[in-house]
Amino acid sequence: MPGNQRACETNDTVVDERQKVAGRCCECGAVYSAWVLSDSTVQPIGKKDGCRCGASTFEAISQ
């Protein structure tokens, strides 16, 4: 895998693949390091509750 992709594995089975990107809040524009999950959801790293503005929708701005 390239350096910016990660996979969680259990007994040789890939459970969750993700790619590290820059992610931007769709409401206020704040930028965070983020994971793009296998379902295309963008999740800021260390911000499970979402953005500091209270929004929870993000878009990837880098690949």
> What residue spans define the domains of the chain?
5-60
* CA 34 to chain CA centroid, nearest Å: 4
Give how far Cα 52 sits from Cα of 14, 30, 63, Å. 32, 8, 23
- Check residue 7 and give its pLDDT: 54
Task: Give pLDDT tens digits along the chain (63 positions).
Answer: 444 655 555 455 555 689 999 999 999 999 999 999 999 999 999 988 999 999 999 999 987
Between CA 27 and CA 1 the distance in angstroms is 32
- Check residue 48 and give its pLDDT: 84
> Would the pTM of this model clear 0.75, i.e. be above it?
no
